[in-house]
Structure 1
């Protein structure tokens, strides 16, 4: 391995594991944000590089054509706005990068530039922006639009949007005909030259966009071969444009399932992903949400139809077409658990072996940890990862915990500075 792995944690400002074992006894406590502020403090102490706060503004109706399944599964709703939560996290932590999700289709550029710069000031240079283009027509209707643009058009607009926003951060006046506004040079300036830019493009248009703009890329190609192909594709795009491929870190989303022994972890995994539990409904609703396809119309004991199309996350749909080609949707959801890049299960040592082997093959940069959507995260899961897996990675030199007050990895400095080594 070269540089130590970058580790982040992806989370939703939603109900926690309210109906799970070890839910903590206060199922409504998520609403005031204290669970997530405490979580951020814990991540900060453990040396995790950043927390990424997901966002969306709709109650999806993708599965079954109405909101019923969504409220049963609590995948994307109910949900609070993560931007005020990010400010609270900034005050409670010292080093942790804080990445917020904001859409180029839903926020006016000047408004987004001010919000991100303000969060960077409040966090003393620890802000990041997870750039999304959005795809839900219900989200468009929340801001007075009838529907959102087609997939590639959204990315074409996003390129121009980034030109406008970065001009604002540089204190320039920029008029853009597409957005029909002047960005004021009076907006606050970031502590960093710009907040850390994160993106998750998986399609060709998305990868082109990510290669041009992103400092961090979050990806979900399934399996080591696909992970390597994705990272090589990003790096070749950057190199072809004359950039340094090492300027961008590619992270893979994973959900480690841990036990004191491999057998204990495997039994836990079998319980979690059985199609006899409510987790199965949660996973198929989640798949409908991110693909913008009603999976209730498909036979779950057959492959995903090859002629299925979407204006949503095309790379996710293509992945499930490939995975179910010689099996079925039910079998894949039961065997592969979450929509993640690696199936990590075992003792901390076993899972560290799996992560190390994958990175040796991929040449990768790190992982984004995730434990389902809403309704599933618990303090116990945090402890298993941060007190079990992370120290194991550290003991192998795969992860470098910061030394408070200075030392090999100082706790001070901006998010961008630590990420790039500048």
Structure 2
């Protein structure tokens, strides 16, 4: 086994796949039946991916210029499927790969979420994960009876109690509560199924849960904290993190920081796996990959519109009021993803908004080249950073891009012994911690 072996995840958007390239018309019209994503997750499992994560949001953004025009023009955040029910479909079509669904602690009731994910843990045979988000959009809040979101740190305070409640619910059945005693006529022992009687600042939940724990006991917990409060929350609760620090130094610093925080909370830092978001540009040769990358950068206006929709939706900032030929003003703040906003401002590097945004990919490091070249860069990065893996981002998704990764890059990674050759354990958590 290679000393620098690492894991792969895929950041999935359950939105319309690529529809403007002239190759994907059928998928653009039929994607919402889920079979496009079934094909994708099967390809990933064969290629050696550890998991597919299903991102989510709960609104049609209209922050940029006060309209949803650009959002719906590019089908960026909408239309979009709810990831929680899609987990069952993807798991039924596969055998080993983990499936992670995003759900918000700001909008879900704890009992409903705990029950849903316990159910998914059963029907996936122990392969479900929960990407814990606190949400960052007032437009989403307005779909749940709120005018605005709670403040950033208050959302994390709610999330911390939410995790306490769901943890109690997942433990409300003792491991040997189901007895199936035919002689006495007892299926379950009522003395081993206990109310939790939680009464806190934000939640009151009696319990117990009315479904017994699944194979993992609780889902694999994923998080994406960037702010100091978010990093503490992740270090205390997460099995895995996705993050977008800038460059190798930022990647190493982020992972070292999370591991140090985990130790502060009394955890083994090896229990937490950090995944760095990347968007590789793959060609048969380095020259072909560079040409693809240059073509992307040449589409400046479209790229600019994409980034403005993305920034406006996640940061709750209307960038249309700023001069695009000047840098982001120093006094701009957000109640959205604060840590990520700080990283984006750093990545902009004081450049004009239009120039920086139109040439930006949401990723920790640039990976452009042939499978051999990109594999070299990934291997060197993991050697330097120390682990633990990469999460690939494709937005919008497409069969052609998936094939470049699963049929082009992954075989090269596999030949080097860098990614998994199979799944040695039954559950997602066990496989995640296997190396």
Shorter-normalised TM range: over 0.9
Contact 1:257 1:269 in 2 (8 A): yes
1:301 deviation in Å? 2.2
Measured in 2, the distance between the counterparts of 1:227 and 1:255 equals: 15
- The farther-off stretch of 261-270 and 118-127 is 261-270
- Deviation, structure 1 residue 264: 0.9
The equivalent residue for 1:201 is 225
Matched, 1:393 2:413: yes
Gap change, CA 1:215 and 1:300, over 3 Å in 2: same
For residues 320 and 249 of structure 2, the distance between their equivalents in structure 1, rounded to whole angstroms, comes to 30
- Deviation track 1:72-128 (CA, whole Å, cap 9, x = no partner) reads 121111112122211111111000101000000000000000000111111000000
Preserved CA contact (<8 Å) 2:303 2:357: no
RMSD: 1.6
| SS of alignment partner, residue 28 of structure 1 | helix
- 1:382 paired with 2:429, answer no
1:125 aligns with 2:126: yes
| Structure 1 counterpart of 2:112 | 111
Assess, with a 3 A threshold, how the Cα gap between structure 1 residues 252 and 145 changes in structure 2: closer, same or farther: same
Q: Which moved more, 1:157-166 or 1:270-279?
A: 270-279
Q: TM-score if structure 2 supplies the norm length?
A: 0.91
Measured against aligned partners, the alpha-carbon deviations of 1:21-77 in whole angstroms (never above 9, x if no partner) come to 432544211111110111111112212110101111100112111211110121111
2:278 matches 1:280: no
1:185 aligns with 2:186: no
How do 1:313-328 residues align onto structure 2 when only pairs under 5 Å count?
A: 313-328=337-352
| Partner SS state of residue 394, structure 2 | coil
Aligned partner of 1:53 in structure 2 is 54
Deviations, residues 252-301 of structure 1 (Å, cap 9, x unaligned): 01100000111111111111233445233112211222222112222222
Counterpart Cα distance in 2 of 1:84 and 1:344 = 33
Q: How does 1:332-343 map to 2 (within 5 A)?
A: 332-336=356-360, 338-343=361-366
Q: Match for residue 167 of structure 2?
A: 166
Q: Which residue of 2 is the match for residue 406 of structure 1?
A: none
Q: Which 5+ residue runs of structure 1 have no aligned equivalent? A: 403-408
Q: How many positions carry a matched residue from both structures?
A: 411
2:371 maps to 1:348:
yes
TM (normalized to structure 1)? 0.94
What's the secondary structure of 1:87's corresponding residue?
Answer: helix
Residue 267 of structure 1: aligned partner: 291
CA distance in 1, matches of 2:54, 2:399: 17
Of 307-316 and 16-25, the range deviating more from structure 2:
16-25
Change (3 A) 1:339 1:5: same
By how many angstroms is 1:314 displaced? 1.1
What are structure 2's unaligned runs of at least 5 residues?
173-193
Q: Could you say what secondary structure the match of 2:28 adopts? A: coil
Which whole-Å CA distance do the structure 2 matches of 1:275 and 1:222 have between them?
23
Please say if 1:421 is aligned against 2:434: yes
Counterpart CA distance in 1 for 2:349 and 2:7 is: 33
Write out per-residue CA displacement over residues 141-198 of structure 1, whole angstroms, 9 at most, x where no aligned residue: 2222232210011111111110100111111532133212323332331210211000
